[in-house]
Amino acid sequence: MTIPTEAAPRLLRGGPIAATIREQVAADVVEFRTEHGYVPALAVVVVGRDAPSAVYLHKILDGCGRVGIDGRLVELGDEATQAEVVAALRTLDADPVVAGIIVQMPLPPTIPLRTVIDILDPLRDIDGIHPLNAGLLSLGYEGFLPATAHAAVEILVRSGIELEGRHAVVVGRSNVVGKPAALLLLRQHATVTVCHSHTRDLASVVRTADVVVVAAGRPGLVTGDMLKPGAVVVDVGINVVGDALVGDVDFASVAPVVSAITPVPGGVGPLTNAILLSHLMRAARDQAQGLVPLGARSLAVPVQEIPS
């Protein structure tokens, strides 16, 4: 049985935080252009057609337009070969104006992920898919973070949710969301448990959490009776059910139990996009200032260790 909290939960909305980030990015673009004489570009590479990712891509390109970044769509057809994907990435890599590259996932089955990772410059990998950036994250150094995981934790931090010493449960262990979100929560000094599809008795684990981040891709997976009263919930899930967009959390049963929750839509999603743009400007600045030599595959890594 769920024990209702006294007040309606606080809604952690991504929109206002995203607007603040975009404002800063727009100012950064103006400053960058004044200093370097060009506007940096973000290239979005799409191989084949995938309807949900097309919507996501257009939001990224719209986001670029809103802050003055040069957003470029590089479309390769369903029939594109590995060699063509490699050639497209090499062309982008050779263009000094292109500061960041995103390759839309999922790739068609004919194009192994390795094809992209072997070519993608980690210094332009602004969505943190390259193993070098994943390794930097796991060691506690500053690389590029996967934008969605970054957004899921940033929404907590910017909303003033206390994480230090609290028990955070992450549901999902994908390389793009669950795993990096867990590492970022550790960086915030939370005590972290990661659940996944083989976890036995998910409810009993989730019930011990002060903070729950759900990224499972299962509509309504987490329900109110699985949560500790007063817990804080971040719903990363984006699922199309009929005509509606719903999260991985059953909002109706969860809202009376928790103290704060991200809505879907309007929570993590808008923030992901703005954070990606901020990553692009960081990449552009690093490259323009020569802090990290292009093509040398070596990173200047400011030390920011996670205490063990």
Compute the least distance from the CB of residue 185 to ligand NAD, in Å: 15
Please say whether the beta carbons of 214 and 248 come within 8 A: yes
In the list 86, 202, 245, 306, the residue contacting ligand NAD (rule: CB under 6 A) is: 202
In the list 9, 172, 180, 263, the residue contacting ligand NAD (rule: CB under 6 A) is: 172
Tell me the window of 30-38, 60-68, 189-197, 298-306 that interacts with ligand NAD (CB under 6 A).
189-197
In the list 134, 263, 269, 274, the residue contacting ligand NAD (rule: CB under 6 A) is: 269
Compute CA distances 184 → 16, 165, 210, 248, whole Å: 22, 14, 16, 20
Peptide linkage before 52 cis (omega within 30 of 0) = no
Residue 43 in contact with ligand NAD, rule: CB under 6 A: no
Please say whether the beta carbons of 279 and 147 come within 8 A: yes
Report the alpha-carbon distance of residue 206 to residue 180 in Å, rounded. 19
Report the alpha-carbon distance of residue 283 to residue 99 in Å, rounded. 6
Nearer to ligand NAD, 124 or 150 (CB): 150
Compute the least distance from the CB of residue 52 to ligand NAD, in Å: 8
Residue 246 in contact with ligand NAD, rule: CB under 6 A: no
Residue 218 in contact with ligand NAD, rule: CB under 6 A: yes
Please say whether the beta carbons of 213 and 234 come within 8 A: yes
Nearest to 255 by CA among 9, 84, 90: 9
Residue 86 in contact with ligand NAD, rule: CB under 6 A: no
In the list 173, 187, 228, 279, the residue contacting ligand NAD (rule: CB under 6 A) is: 173
Residue 215 in contact with ligand NAD, rule: CB under 6 A: yes
Query: DSSP per residue over 205-221, as a string?
Result: HHTT-SEEEE--S-TT-
In the list 107, 171, 206, 261, the residue contacting ligand NAD (rule: CB under 6 A) is: 171
Compute the least distance from the CB of residue 292 to ligand NAD, in Å: 27
Nearest to 255 by CA among 219, 221, 229: 229
Nearest to 171 by CA among 213, 205, 139, 207: 213
In the list 64, 134, 177, 254, the residue contacting ligand NAD (rule: CB under 6 A) is: 177
153 — phi, psi (to 5°)?
-85, -35
Residues touching ligand NAD, count (CB under 6 A): 26
In the list 227, 238, 255, 284, the residue contacting ligand NAD (rule: CB under 6 A) is: 238
Residues lying near ligand NAD in the complex (CB under 6 A) are found at 148, 171-174, 176-178, 195-197, 199, 202, 215-218, 221, 236-239, 248, 268-269, 272
